[in-house]
Amino acid sequence: MKSRFMIGRCLWFAAALFLSANALAQTPAPAPGKVIGKVTRVEGLVTVSDTKGISRVALNDPVIDRTRYVTSSSGSVTLKMDQGCDIELKPNQALTVEDDRTCEALWALIGSFGAGRAAAPFLVGGSVILILGGGGGGGTPDTPVTPPGNGGQLPDISPQ
């Protein structure tokens, strides 16, 4: 009696599984585009867009025909194209990759955006001194003190 009940339950489960699989098979999946390369290096934020959406680029992602890569002001990416060349996008650049274009044509199509107002200059000059700690040289060991002499002064780290 118990085993017959179990068999019945198994049959119901199998039927449900079959129907679900059938339904899934009938759901139209978006046709993936043609793979024409691979992302071999990515630094910072880089996005790629297709006809409906935009996503963040990750290492080893496939490069799909007619997608557009855009780098942020600190992002860069290298696309290894199946036709045998590497396309490198530097910060603030964009490119729509197309299978029917040669590597030379793709390189020529790389567009650059202005940095806008994002990249403010780094204005630390040699005369700017920053002292670690808030007190004077005579502070107690329990309160931050200013080391005398050159101690605590930050050297110029501006990219000059």
Partner 1 sequence: MSQAHMPTLTMASSRAFSLSLAALGIAAAFVAGRQSLVTNLERACTVGDTPYLDLCPPAQTPRQSATELKSEIAANPGDSRAYLRLAFAGGSATNAALLSAAARLAPSHPNVIAMQAAQALEGQDLPTAVGPLVSLVEHGYNDRAALVLARLIVSGRWQLLAEHLRPGTHWFKQVLAQMPNAQGSFAAALPLVVLGLDRGVFAPPELMPYVRQLKTSGAWGDAYSLWVALHKGASPILFNASFNHPFEEDGFDWELPSQQPIGRAGAIVARAADESRGSVLDIRFTGRPFAEPLIRQHLFLGPGRYRLQGDYKTAQLRIEQGLAWSLRCTASAVQAGKSAGLGDTANVWRPFEFVFSVPQDCGWVATLQLEAFAPLDATLGSRGRASFSALALQKLEH
129 φ/ψ sector (left φ>0, alpha ψ -120 to 50, else beta)? beta
Can residue 20 be called a binding residue for partner 1 (CB under 8 A)? no
Can residue 72 be called a binding residue for partner 1 (CB under 8 A)? yes
Closest C-alpha among 93, 103, 112, 114 to residue 46: 93
Out of 7, 19, 35, 118, the only residue in the binding site for partner 1 (CB under 8 A) is 118
Chain centroid offset of residue 109 CA: 21
Which is nearer to partner 1, 3 or 143 (by Cβ)?
Answer: 143
Shortest distance, CB of residue 68 to partner 1, whole angstroms? 4
Which is nearer to partner 1, 8 or 111 (by Cβ)?
Answer: 111
Closest C-alpha among 59, 7, 6, 66 to residue 33: 66
Burial class (CB in 10 A: 0-12, 13-18, 19+), 79: buried
Beta bridge partners of 85: 81
Can residue 126 be called a binding residue for partner 1 (CB under 8 A)? no
CA atoms within 13 A on the CB side of 49: 10
Can residue 63 be called a binding residue for partner 1 (CB under 8 A)? no
Stretch that binds partner 1, among 11-19, 44-52, 77-85, 99-107 (CB under 8 A): 44-52
Chain centroid offset of residue 151 CA: 40
Can residue 45 be called a binding residue for partner 1 (CB under 8 A)? yes
Stretch that binds partner 1, among 4-12, 21-29, 72-80, 98-106 (CB under 8 A): 72-80
Interface with partner 1 (CB under 8 A): 43-47, 49-56, 58, 66, 68, 70-75, 92, 94, 96, 111, 113, 115-124, 130-134, 137, 139-142, 144-145, 147-155, 157-159
